[in-house]
Copies of this chain bind each other. A is one copy, B any other.
Amino acid sequence: MTGTAKATRARTKGKAADARREILKVAARMMRENGYADMSLRDLAAEVGMKAGSLYYHFPSKEDLATEVMRLGVEMVEEAVTDALEQSRKLSPRDRLVLAMRVHLKTLLSESDFSSAHIRCYPFVPETVRAELKTVRRAYDQVWNNIIAAYLGTDAEPQEIRHLRYTLIGAMNWSLEWFNAEKDDVEAYIASIAALLPVRKN
């Protein structure tokens, strides 16, 4: 076992790590539902089963806690998308694009308060938090640039790639505003968006 792996395991087991994970989980839900400003550390602590002051054993500040929640939010979707693509190398570029959309949307809607908290809270979070998230956000953008470039072909201009990325990500992320798990169907919505993407000759 490498030192790094040992250290990682040390950080992920034990009482402190459990409490930390629980805090993050509840924080993600509260941020998603109420926003960053309206997430009270008193309420958060109460839901986790501790007092507000105790949170500072695990996180140095509210901003750091929020940063961690939002960072995990990007990393979760990114990992889900890249894993799915990794296991589907034989698909056509178009099918890979549709697969990426499916995984992004499913993660957003059914699995992860972290990702939706990121999307909803980003515009209003302190500038320092946004600065911390710059790198992970760029990395995820790059994942999509690659998927879309493969679909559009080698003659695609950078603006064409960016615009399609904005359109698709916007169409998907907007689902946070209307999607109702009891009435709506992820597959049906993906199919509707996919219907707008022409089958290309490459």
Would you give the shortest CB distance from A69 to chain B, in whole angstroms?
Answer: 16
Main secondary structure of the interface of A (DSSP, over half): helix
The digit string for A144-170, where 1 denotes a CB below 8 A from any CB of B, is 000000000000000110011011111
Identify which of A48-56, A76-84, A189-197 touches chain B.
A189-197
Number of copies: 2
C-alpha spacing A37/B37, complex, angstroms: 6
In the complex, the answer to whether A166 meets B175 with C-beta atoms within 8 Å is yes
C-alpha spacing A192/B170, complex, angstroms: 13
- Which residues A3-44 have CB closer than 8 A to chain B? 34-35, 37-38
Nearest chain B residue, comparing its CB with the CB of A165: B178
C-alpha spacing A177/B170, complex, angstroms: 9
